[in-house]
Each structure stands twice: as C-alpha cells, then as structure tokens.
Structure 1
Amino acid sequence: MRDATRRRPPRPAAPSAPAHAGRYALAALASAALLAGCSLRGDNGEPGAEQAAAPAVAREVVLQPAGSQGPAPFTASTAQEGAPAAPGAPPATGVDGPAPAGRALTGATPGLYGGTRSVASCNVEQQIAFLAAEPARGRAFAEAAGIPEANLGGWLRGLTPVLLRADARVTNHGFQGGHATAFQSVLQAGTAVLVDGYGAPRVRCACGNPLRAPAAAPGAVHAGQPWPGYRPDRVVAVTPTSTVVTSLVIVNAADDTWIERRTGSDGSADRRPDVLPPCDPASCDVVTAPPAPLPDGPTAPRQPPAPSEPASPPPTTPDRGTPDPVSPAPDVPSAPDVPSAPDVPSAPVGPDAPVGPDLPAVPDAPDTPDGPGGLPTPEPPPSSDDLFPADTGAGRQPDTFQG
C-alpha cells in the first residue's frame, strides 16, 4: 500500500479563480475602451504603448445636424437662431462611401453665411460666462482654439455670429476627461457659428465647441445619421481670407435679401451693401458656382486701344490736324528750298537754257506749302512756255527724273 501510494502521479493543480477572472476583466476593459472611442493616448497627447499594439482604428467624419449638440459638448447651447439644440444620439453609419474633403471656399464668399437682420445667431456673452464658470473648460477651450487663455473673452467678442448656408467640413473639439478632444465633422447648413476676422468658423454655438480648419483624413468614413438632402459632393471647406475683412455679405434668412454685417458686431449695425453680388440671394449657389468677385480689371484692357487708334495711319487730312508744335519740325528744313523757285526766271530763257537736275523739283513745290506750317504759296514763273519751249524734246530730260 505504501509503494502504490508513492507511484501515484500528482494531481494537476486547478487554475486559480482570481487569475482567470483577471484575464476576462482585462479583455472587457479593452473592448470597452474601443467602443468608447478612446484614442489610447497618454495625458500629454502622445501615443501610448498600448496604441502600437492595438489595431488601426478607421477614421471617421461625424455628421452633425444643426440642432444636435453632439458628443461631449463644451458648454450648453448659446444658439439664438437656427434649429434648437437637441441631445446627441449615438453615431450610426448612414452614408456609404468615403467622407468628403470639401470644396474650398474663402470665408468672404458672398452668400456663404446667412442670418436675420439685426439679430445675432449666438449669444457671445453667455458663451463667455459658461467658460468663465469652469476654468478647466475655459483653459481647454483656449488651447483648442489656439488663443491665450487670458484673452478668451476679448477674442470671443471679436467674432461674428452667422448661420452656415452650406454643409461645412471642420475640425471639431469636444470636452472629455478635462481636456479637448479633436474629431472631424460636417456641420449641417443652418448651424449657428461664430466666425473670425478671416471669415473662418471658430465656434459651434449649439455646443460651445471650438472649431478649426478641417484636417486631411484620406479614406475616412461617415459616422452619424445624414439629414435629408445631404450630399457629400456639396460639402464645403471654408478657408480663411489672406487679409482681415471688415464686413461679410450674408443672406437675410427672413426675406432673401443681401445684408452687410460688420465683423465683430452682433448684427445691430447691419445694412444693405453698397455693391450687391452678381446673383440673387434666393438662387445664388455658393457650392457649385465659381467665385464671382466684381473685378475692376475688365475695363482696363479696353482702355489701351483708345489712345492707339489715332496712332494708326489715318487719312491725310486728319493727320495734318495733329498738334502744330510737332508737325512744323520736319517742314522747317524744307523752307530754304522754297525760295529757290523765284531764282528760276533769272536763268537764261530759251532753248539753250540749262536744264539741271534741280528743275524737276519745281512741280513738287506745291506739296510743301500744303503742310501744317502755313507757309505762303510761292508765285509761279511768269510763263511756263518761256521756261520750257515747245521745241525742247523729251530726250533732253534727265534720266534720273521719274515723273
């Protein structure tokens, strides 16, 4: 019995419950992190060690309707125009194909924005109060917007409240975990935004999120439910102007008329533009129509031909009417030749009169007095028959005379 007990193989130990449960808990935690959309980055925003081992996450462009607050809003809604803010819904894929990069349009494009005359689409003072009440949010907002935290209130007061009139691609920022999280989104036309002095949208009023220019995301897909009429090929990407603009030409949402809104104002100084855009506000399509500034250049190419017309060879009479100070100059040297005509009668008259090469110049003399110099016409010789007798043959004419 003792030997049999020694030869019995040892029974394998059962796995401990705590180790088994820990593996399942770790897997569940990783799944929860992926479902929540965590970026697997450290507190400083740099990629963590976990990101290298995790599979690549498909990039997304979130569709945000005008009245949706969206995920992780910075503040409560401050929108005073457009669709009322509504709680965000879980994103769901609703459009096949890649998300659009957007057609670039400058922020000063007439009709890109709209609004109601003398009405601000956003309450800027309320936005400032929300961020001032929570310093952590204000600090994260300033960091995401790229402005000094100390100048947050002044910067917001310098923005202009308007409504988008086209679906616009932007870089959005939510507030989560005490800091701003960036994501790409498309804002629906009708969204209330604050734009800066370069015409670029900087704040989404329905959620208080800071906005920046869209980032390149090749291969990105849509996330969220599209609104009726959404077309990826009609999405725009607003680019800032090269210089600061003092006003924006927007469309009055109440009656489809043009409004000139001074940048940095709340709409109280709205007025009719002095120069209207070349299209009607109701039919002006800023998405498909090419930029149509009012150039001053077309008249410039037509002006140079006007002075060049007199320079072309005109009739003889108009040419002689040119300014006198210019035309007499070439006629002055010919004046000494004119008095030589009266000297002809002093030559011997008769058949033996010498015929020199200067005599044929006498018939050309009438052309000289006709010039603009106004010289008197010399008296002709007393008798042409005496100067040129009938018996003078053509053979005696100089060979160099061509008539």
Structure 2
Amino acid sequence: MKPPLMPDPYPRGPPPGPLPRSPAGPSPEVPPPEGGSTDPHRRGRRPVLLIVGLALFAIATGLFFLGRQADQAQQQEAVRLQPAAAIAPDPFTPSVAGPVPALRAVPPPPAPSPESGKVRVAGHYGSEPGLFGGTVKASTCDARRLANLLLRDPHKSQAWAGTLGLTTADLRPYLTGLTPAVVIVDTRVTGHHYREGRARPHQAVLQAGTAVLLDRYGVPRVRCATGDPLRPPAAVTKKVVYTGRSWRGFQAGGTVRVLPAHQPLDALVLTDVVTGERFIRPVGGTGATDRNVAGTPVSSGPLGTVAAVPVAAVGHTVTGLPLSVLAGKAWRAAEAPWTCCGNGRPEREESS
C-alpha cells in the first residue's frame, strides 16, 4: 500500500479549482495626493523646468541688450581728450617737451577754409597764423632727444617710422627737421600709442598749450609729452563720444584740424604765448633764428620782448604789452622813451 501524499509546503502555480471573479465595474484607484501626480519624478521635474526657463529668458535678454550695445558702439567714434601735459597710456617715449608758459589771451584762429565746410571740425591750413605759438628764442620740444630715445629700440623706432611712411634710417633727419611749437587752439589729430610692439592709432583732441613738432607744411607730427607720432585726423561720420579727462573751456565745436599748406614752407608764423605778439620761426629752427613779422631779428629781455624796426612798420598796439618799438632802436618796456598815447601807439619819440 502507498503512503498517503502530504500537501506541498511550497505550492507552485494557481490553486486548484476555479479562480475568483473580480467585482463588476472599474477597479478602485487610489486617489492622487493633493497637488498633482503621484509620480515623484514628474513632481521633481517641474522646478527644474522653471529654472531652465528663467535661465533661457535671462540669456535671451542679455543677448538682446548686448546686441543693442554692439549696434550703438558701431555707430559711435571714440575721441580721446588729451590735456596739454598729460602722459597718456602706452606712450612711445618719456616726455621730451620743454617748459610751456601758461597761455595768455591769443587772437582767435581765422575763419574756416572753404574746403572744410563739409566736416564738423573747422579746417585751417598750416600756413595760416593763429594756430600755433611758442616762446621767442626758446624751444618747447627736444627733437634730438626724441630721436635718440626711439633709436634705442629697433622695434619701437620701426613702428614709429611706419606710421608716417618712413624708414628707421629716415628717422633722425626727419625729426631734427621739424619745428617746435605749441598748439594754441584745441586741435583734432590722429594719435598713436605703442602696445605689444605695434603703433595703434586713435582719434584725439590736443588741448591748447600742447607742445608739438610741426613739419614744413605746418602739420603737427609729434606730441612731445609722449613722443607719439601724429597724423591728420580721420573723417568721422559717426556720433563722436569723447573719452578721457576734459579741461575748462573745452567745446567740441571749438576744435580745429590742420590741413597741409599748399606748398612747403620756409618759415612758420607763431604767436608768442606770453605777449600775444606774432613772430617768425624758420622751419627746423629751435628759437635761435626767430625774427619778428617785419623781418628783423627778435631779442628777449627780463622785461619782455623788444624789437628794432622803423616806426612806419609798426602795426601793433603797445599799450599794456611788454613791447616797445622806436625808430631804429630797441628798448626795454620800462625804459622806452616815448609818450603815450594816440590809439595805443607812441605819438612822438624823444632822444635818449
């Protein structure tokens, strides 16, 4: 006889017999928790999507404003304001400027040349009086020292010379042939600074009183405080934005640009920044060969400037100026034996 079968302690498969039926109708669902889905992953994605959306909005806004700034920058032209003795960033050399007396009242420049009517900045030929000044018998810039400083550095001298279409071999004779002077009107130029072995151009305004070197066409070629080469200003068709430190009396509409004279000059007419009188300086001269407008030599003394010219050639007012002119003689202002005044000139001379 077979022993009775014991029940399997680990049943496999469905239990014997018919399966129980589910109740009719949809199966009951667990109500979702208040606030949304029961899926924890979906709940965590919402703040992430919000953050991403805000970030994209911020990026789009930033790109919009950057684009506007770029458009505005393309529509603007930066012009540096350079005070007379200021050392600008990245100069070519240390200053080679001499002492420049404080500017007194000087005659205004002549009316703009007809050719300059199409530009905003008034244009004047370098041969016209009233643009440049100086001190009689004194130089305001050391061209020889500038040549020595530049030629010590082959890369710098090559970069400097290249701005004016020169070679380094031309540099010394070119510089020593320039004429020291002072701009007496705020003047627009193209300046250059030295950075990373290259001469980099920039538009600039030189303040009245800036020491410069002029070429034989009356065009500024060197800013003596920094040794920077200068060229005529570029035509500006965009809105001008002035950068740098301004000075008292600066007016954008009061600047000038210098046009080359029609032919090379033998001499330049300068205004004495102390007396306001005009004198002549030969091109390349450093003061020793200065002469007055009548053509005779000029000398200077402790009491001012004196000149020896005939009375008939005198066309300047004497009153209030340290200048005395008598027939064939030069006197110190305090010693001049004349009686005043008919229209500010001596009426008669007395023998000494």
Give TM-score, length-normalised by structure 1: 0.51
1:158 aligns with 2:177: yes
C-alpha deviation, 1:278, in angstroms: 7.8
C-alpha deviation, 1:148, in angstroms: 2.2
1:228 aligns with 2:238: no
Structure 2 letter corresponding to 1:269: T
55, 70, 77: which one pairs with 1:59?
77
Provide the residue aligned with 1:197 in structure 2. 216
69, 72, 77: which one pairs with 2:87?
69
Contact 1:119–1:267 (8 Å) recurs in 2: yes
Deviation per CA, 1:193-237, whole angstroms, max 9, x where unpaired?
000000000000000000001001221211122100111111010
| Cα distance between partner residues in 2 of 1:225 and 1:257 | 31
Deviation per CA, 1:327-355, whole angstroms, max 9, x where unpaired?
xxxxxxxxxxxxxxxxxxxxxxxxxxxxx
Provide the residue aligned with 2:274 in structure 1. 254
Are residues 126 and 281 of structure 1, via their aligned partners in 2, closer, same or farther at CA, if it must alter by over 3 Å? farther
| Structure 2 runs not aligned, ≥5 long | 1-40, 42-65, 103-118, 296-312, 320-352
Structure 2 letter corresponding to 1:233: G
Contact 2:94–2:226 (8 Å) recurs in 1: yes
Which structure has the larger Rg?
A: 1
C-alpha deviation, 1:83, in angstroms: 7.4
RMSD of equivalent CA atoms: 3.3
Contact 1:63–1:222 (8 Å) recurs in 2: yes
What is the identity percentage for the equivalent residue pairs of Structure 1 and Structure 2? Answer: 38
C-alpha deviation, 1:81, in angstroms: 2.8
Are residues 106 and 279 of structure 1, via their aligned partners in 2, closer, same or farther at CA, if it must alter by over 3 Å? farther
| Cα distance between partner residues in 1 of 2:121 and 2:211 | 19
3-state DSSP class of the match of 2:222?
A: strand
| Cα distance between partner residues in 2 of 1:280 and 1:234 | 27
| Cα distance between partner residues in 2 of 1:264 and 1:277 | 27
Are residues 171 and 279 of structure 1, via their aligned partners in 2, closer, same or farther at CA, if it must alter by over 3 Å? farther
Contact 1:258–1:281 (8 Å) recurs in 2: no
Provide the residue aligned with 1:184 in structure 2. 203
- Runs of at least 4 residues off by over 4 Å: 54-57, 275-282
| Cα distance between partner residues in 2 of 1:130 and 1:269 | 26
Deviation per CA, 1:42-79, whole angstroms, max 9, x where unpaired?
xxxxxxxxxxxx76543201111001111211110000
Are residues 60 and 156 of structure 1, via their aligned partners in 2, closer, same or farther at CA, if it must alter by over 3 Å? same
133, 137, 148: which one pairs with 2:152?
133
| Cα distance between partner residues in 1 of 2:293 and 2:278 | 7
Provide the residue aligned with 2:121 in structure 1. 102
Contact 2:271–2:278 (8 Å) recurs in 1: yes
3-state DSSP class of the match of 1:63?
A: strand
| Structure 1 runs not aligned, ≥5 long | 1-8, 10-33, 35-53, 85-99, 283-403
3-state DSSP class of the match of 1:222?
A: strand
Give TM-score, length-normalised by structure 2: 0.58
3-state DSSP class of the match of 1:154?
A: helix
292, 301, 314: which one pairs with 1:272?
292
Q: Would you say how many aligned residue pairs link Structure 1 and Structure 2?
A: 225
Are residues 136 and 279 of structure 1, via their aligned partners in 2, closer, same or farther at CA, if it must alter by over 3 Å? farther
Contact 2:193–2:228 (8 Å) recurs in 1: yes
Provide the residue aligned with 1:45 in structure 2. none
| Cα distance between partner residues in 2 of 1:81 and 1:193 | 12
Deviation per CA, 1:256-288, whole angstroms, max 9, x where unpaired?
222110001111100112278988799xxxxxx
Are residues 146 and 254 of structure 1, via their aligned partners in 2, closer, same or farther at CA, if it must alter by over 3 Å? same
Contact 1:66–1:82 (8 Å) recurs in 2: no
Contact 1:193–1:205 (8 Å) recurs in 2: yes
| Cα distance between partner residues in 1 of 2:85 and 2:120 | 23
| Cα distance between partner residues in 1 of 2:128 and 2:227 | 25
Name the structure with the higher strand share: 2
Provide the residue aligned with 2:257 in structure 1. 237
1:212 aligns with 2:231: yes
| Cα distance between partner residues in 2 of 1:141 and 1:277 | 44
3-state DSSP class of the match of 1:249?
A: strand
**Stretch of structure 1 that moved more, 144-153 or 200-209:** 144-153
Contact 2:192–2:229 (8 Å) recurs in 1: yes
| Cα distance between partner residues in 2 of 1:115 and 1:271 | 13
3-state DSSP class of the match of 1:260?
A: strand
3-state DSSP class of the match of 1:59?
A: strand
Deviation per CA, 1:138-181, whole angstroms, max 9, x where unpaired?
00000112222211000001100000110000000000110000
Name the structure with the higher helix share: 1
187, 190, 213: which one pairs with 1:171?
190
3-state DSSP class of the match of 1:244?
A: coil
| Cα distance between partner residues in 2 of 1:73 and 1:252 | 28
| Cα distance between partner residues in 2 of 1:151 and 1:136 | 15
